Each structure stands twice: as structure tokens, then as C-alpha cells.
Chains A and B, each alone.
Chain A
């Protein structure tokens, strides 16, 4: 089989890359190793309305709920409320990823991409030292898919980058290990996303509750890998739910790893580029990855189209992608890496003190950066090393 570009992984990043490249007239193959796109989910499913709407028309079919904002709790229970439009990139819609991911893959298919499910990439094909496509297993048979460019959108467990010589392996401090229940409980706030901080609850991470309508919610937590131990996320989540909502009805369980390494050294190699979690483009402080992956996917599709039409699909031809994502989404990812490295070191007492300091301020109309600016003004000694982030 022969095409211009083969995209490995039909998550939001891969599907946007495939759709964009197909719209530009390229012959595109989109591989998904699972037999069902979008399932099992490994995500809390929250996204900002504005950023999502700038890329795709919101469809009620894949929106589980809309929220008014976010409530953030310190370890001692004190809290603040932030409005939806200022709460960052994870608050606004709570998606139904099983439907959303399939809709994005369908958009790619309608644009002309050939979607192949139950097809797992095994290795890159090389000819004269250059990447020339992907070897894959499809329905148990090995097939070669020849292409000028391979887009690795293969998620946290990405192999494409490694095959191309980019070490994407995550060290324990570079990953949040997570567990989540979809549950029904009377105590669920249907209108707000909730975030609970605390080293007892989720060491180096946080607990979240993202409502999905009618007292249903994704309740989950992430633990920084360097402070985790075997099975800790599931154990801590069960404890949280048993203590806070003992009557909860759990109807689904999800586990996963979220890259929080921040920008990796490079995301482009000869004939290869990486998108989304595979490129470690998830947000180091929130763990959100959907929107960054989609934006990177669009940039990848555009750059690949240019590279194929100009005939330069080597590192030089693809470098525009690296440049573009670092100058856009990359800036916030880098800033949030600094924030994460600072915040995972804070004690519960530090977190409580920060929360108390800001409770008397009106933060409801502030975004994260504005709030950080106020926090630094109120706690100059403690937050001195973060001041470069708000300049």
C-alpha cells in the first residue's frame, strides 16, 4: 500500500493531522491499533469552550455537560471559585470522548483519509537510510504501508519517536499516574469542575471531579510518578470515594499515565513528526492534552502537506512544525512545567496558606496567570522563584 502520509493513532491529535492533510489533497492513511476508536477512555474529558470551538463546531452528540466554572480546594477544605471562561483549558465542556474521538476520525475519513482500525504499527520502514513508511499488523497479518512521512500520534505509549531515534521515555517525575471512576452520587455538583489539592489525597497531583450531567461525574486523581508506588492511584481513589461519597455508584473505571515532562528536545526526525501525548505536549500543571494535541495535529497536517508538495520530507522540510508548535502551545507548556516543578514540592501547610492568602481577593474573573500574579504579590517570599512566569 502506498500513500503520502501515514498517521499512527486515531486520538484527537492523529485525527486532526489526518483530516488537515487530507483536506490539502494528500493521500492519508490513519492507523488505530484498537478495534474501537475512543475506547477505552483514558481522560477526564474536560476542555475549554472557546479553544475547542475555534477548531471544531461543538456538537451535542459528544458534549456530556457544560460547566459554569471551577472550584479549587486546599487540603484543609478552604476553597475558591473561578469562572468558566477564565479557568483554563480544561474547564467548559465535559466531553464524551468515546463519541468525540470517533467523530474526529469520521471527519478525517470524510476528508478523504483511509482509516484502518485494529492495525498496530510494528516499526518504521527504511530505504537508503530514510523513513519510507510503517510496517503494521492488521487483523493478524503483517502489511507494509509506504509513505513519505509518518506522523506519530501514538499517545503516552508512543513508539514512533523511539523508532526514529527520539528518546520519549518518561522518567518517574515526568508522568502523572492516574485512576478515575465514572460514578453517580447525590453529592456531585453538576455545574462546577472541582479540584482537590493535598499530599495525602494525591501526592504531587490532585483529585478532580468533572460533572457529566445528572449527578454523574468523572472522579479521578493523578499522583506524580516519583512519589507513587505500585497500585497507589487506584488505592487512593478508592479511599477518597469511600470517605467522601460512600454511597457512590461506580459504573466505569479508567486508568492511565499523563506525560508532564514538558517540551521534549525534538519532535521531528527524517520523515517523522510527533503530535500530542506522543510529543509530550500535554499540560504539565493540569494534565490536559486534548486541545494541544488537536492544535499540534492541525499544524502537523499543514506542514506535512507543504513538505510533500515541495518534495522535502526530511528534517529540514518538517522543521516548520517544530518551530510553529513551540512558538504557540509550547510557550504555555514550558511555563506550566516550571509551575509544576514548584507546586509538587509544596507541603499541605504551604497549599493552605496560599489558599487563605487569596480567599479575600476577587479571583472569579481572573485567569490562572492573573491569579498567580496576585499570589506572588501576597506571598512574595514563598513564590519569589516564580515571578518570571508572570512578567
Chain B
């Protein structure tokens, strides 16, 4: 799953613009990730601050 480090995120919305399945949303100062995420990792690569990461689901 995609996780967002809110202490690093600059809430610029670049990740939202590059998401191929419209699974991200910028709400004021935070990013929401919906169930539609396909874990392609495009947003992780393109984040200017490096706030996003793709982690294996637990269990």
C-alpha cells in the first residue's frame, strides 16, 4: 500500500496529477489514498519531497 509521510509531504498535488487511476486526492494539507490504488509506484517516483512510499501489506 501507498503510505504518506505527513511530516515530509508538501501537499503540492503532483502525485494526484500523475496517478493513472485517480486514486489520490489532495485535501487542503494532506493526501488521501483510495482503495482504487493499483500500487504502480508512479507517485512515489515523482514526489518532489520523497514523502510517499510503497510498502508490502501486512499479514
Contact = CB atoms under 8 A, between A and B. Distances in A.
Interface in A240-268: 253-257, 259
Given A177-B14, A257-B12, A157 B48 contact: no
Contact of B48 (A158, A172, A255, A259): A255
B47 interface: yes
Contacts of B18: 169-172, 175, 225, 257
Contacts of A171: 18
B46 A175 contact: yes
A129 interface: no
Interface residues of B, number: 28
B33 to A, nearest CB: 14
A95 interface: no
A177 B48 contact: yes
A257 B10 contact: no
Interface string A20-50: 0000000000000111000010100000000
B14 A230 contact: no
B22 interface: yes
A233 B53 CA distance: 16
B35 interface: no
Interface residues of A, number: 36
Contacts of A254: 10, 12
A230 B13 contact: no
A171 B44 CA distance: 13
B12 A42 contact: yes
A234 interface: yes
B2 interface: no
Contacts of B8: 231
B41 to A, nearest CB: 10
A159 B42 CA distance: 17
B3 interface: no
B46 A225 contact: yes
A229 interface: yes
Interface string A155-180: 11111001000001111100101110
A33 B28 contact: yes
Given A34-B28, A169-B18, A175-B18, A230 B47 contact: yes
A225 B44 CA distance: 11
B50 A257 contact: no
Contacts of A199: none
A120 interface: yes
B19 interface: yes
A177 B20 contact: no
Greatest chain A CB density within 10 A among B11, B13, B25, B53 is at: B13
Contacts of A233: 48-49
Contacts of A286: none
Interface in B8-59: 8, 10-14, 16-20, 22, 24-28, 42, 44-53
A364 interface: no
Given A34-B28, A35-B28, A169-B22, A259 B17 contact: yes
B28 A170 contact: no
A157 B26 contact: yes
Contact of A175 (B14, B26, B27, B49): B14
Contacts of B20: 169
> Which residue, A40, A172, A175, A231, has most C-beta atoms of chain B within 10 A?
A231
B45 A225 contact: yes
Contact of A229 (B10, B22, B45, B51): B45
Contacts of A79: none
B48 A178 contact: yes
Contacts of B53: 230
Interface of B: 8, 10-14, 16-20, 22, 24-28, 42, 44-53
Interface of A: 33-35, 40, 42, 120, 155-159, 162, 168-172, 175, 177-179, 225, 228-235, 253-257, 259
